[in-house]
Structure 1
Amino acid sequence: MKITRENTDNVNAVIKVLIEKPDYEKTVEEKLKEYRQQASIPGFRPGKAPMGLIKRRFEKSVMVEEINKMLSQNLTRYMMDEKLQILGEPLASTEHQKPIDWEKDEDFEFAFDVALAPKVEVSLTEEDKLNYFTIKVTDDMIDQQIEMIQSQMGENVDADEVAEKSLVRGDFVELDEEGNQKEEGIKADGVLLSVDLVKDEEIKKQFPGKQKGEVLTFDPVTAYGDRHEVGHLLKISHEQADELDSIFRFTITEILDFQKAELNEELYKKIYGEDTGVKTEEDLRNKLKEEIANSLLQSSDRRFAYDTRDALVEKVNPELPEAFLKRWLKEANQDVTEEQIENDFDGFVKDLRWQL
């Protein structure tokens, strides 16, 4: 077996593998003997079929299989022994591969195109400089963080009357056509409603200004426009909700308004612990400014990493076998079109140069 390599330029090479009859003859013969022992051929006992018959039936397929196995193993071993750094995988050479006649040939030469990884040397001096951008923490950022903290640490408190965004707890009672409580009708106690989630504007207008103990009458299906949601509110089955067509009396038993947390020392201890040095709103703002600045460092680092990558790739700009890479991408991804490869190729090459 002979393996040769010709570098056609700095990043392309052709590897030729010549497999001659003595290289595979003995292996094929041993395989055929195994076939003879295992083959079940009509008219012959197992292992007794004439070798001539075995050869006529199996020799070519066995030869092709063994040569391909030998080719793969030795090509891989050659590239490892030669310490070849290649890109992608070897491809059958469209230019250098000679026709093969498996029926008549005894010696077989295979030619492969390979892409050689370029040698990359990065030479930097004090003149090579990049800006590191620090993101400024603005008052708006701090204000937004404080707003979020106050909302997260806030709570619902009792209110005297319903407002536009109140939570209202009450008891539902189904009414008959005369407006009286329906016998064996639906009842649901302690149902919590959010006024701003009521979809029907006319029904929503009934809530603001109401106080505990006051009564509203409305159709909950009309109010929410969603029978599935109404079923959960009234604690009834989906089937009952699908058939529901009634007016309900809703008696208010509790009114809750959301109150944001006050900025005080108690809140600061909840956030940072009993031993915190944050005592005033100014302390909080300074603390948040520091925290936001630290979190923004990740964005600054990420930007610097991208800028560094782009600058180094542009400076070194290693040569690549682009024609080979496009062909390899196409053969390795049969479901990808040439147009897709062309559209994505610049990004692929940029990433590859950075990896190198």
Structure 2
Amino acid sequence: MSIVKIENVRVLDPIQKTDSVQTVYIENGKLVAPVEQVEQTIDGQGKWLMPTMVDLCARLREPGQQQHGTLKSEGKAARANGILHVITPPDSKPIVQDNGALIHGLIEKAWHDGGIHMHIIGAQTQGLNGKQPANMAGLKKGGCTAVSNANAAFENDDVVIRTLEYAAGLGLTVVFYAEEPQIAKDGCAHEGFIASRQGLPMIPAIAETVAIAKYLLMIEATGVKAHFGLLSCGASVELIRAAKAKGLPVTADVAMHQLHLTEHLTDGFNSLAHVRPPLRSEQDKELLRQGLKEGVIDAICTHHEPLSSSAKMAPFAET
């Protein structure tokens, strides 16, 4: 293979803790020592050279919702943005993430069609029904390293505890997208002046924080390793901070749009700003950013959910 010289490129290596502008030499996809003769020289001014990224939350819509996206189309989009590893929640339609054998086939298809490494979070309960634990041993054998009930509600807290004990015994991580259904109900926008003025059903921040607080107590009791995905509230950051200070095995991420956008974007019933958890206040946005800078929040995810244009043409609450 030819040797490529890249000049003036910003090298980012989290393992070696490197962040500097350098000239590097690459042969067969690997860094090599400087040499006199190279086949190609590239000016890397303004560009980054870094390991491929991992997206902790993206729905690729296959199987079952190919009208919105496919493993081929979404895999191509991921690779174009430097993302080679994509982690997907277990709520595809139909739900196949409670079947270890089907999961293995999806992983192979994602690489064949889209050129990405797809990592599937298994279902925490059978069919995400919130009643009976899924076959987590079979899911682990099929390649899952984590389980979750996605956005589906549990029948009761006893089911949650039993599944956490099961996951802990298998060494599986449990992923929570924390929202208390009895508080969130049929809400679709952040509880505040803008949603109230427009008459939109609201989701208060406490719907998230109550769920996180409850799950943290269960994590402490069972010893399971847990990850909280898609934080949206400043108060949630403080709960995760306290849990880490206590030594609980927890991590957390935030969706990239929560770091840049707020509830103001929903004004005028702008359905393009309808996400869940909802865009929240300016104060929440700043506290999430601060939590990220301080390392309380461990990662940023895309929360990528491709939709056809017609899916955003309904009234706000229905989109």
| TM-score interval, smaller chain | under 0.3
Compare relative contact order (CA 8 Å, sep 6+) and give the higher one, 1 or 2. 1
Normalized per residue, which structure has more helix?
Answer: 1
Bigger Rg over Cα: 1
TM-score (norm 2): 0.18
TM-score (norm 1): 0.17
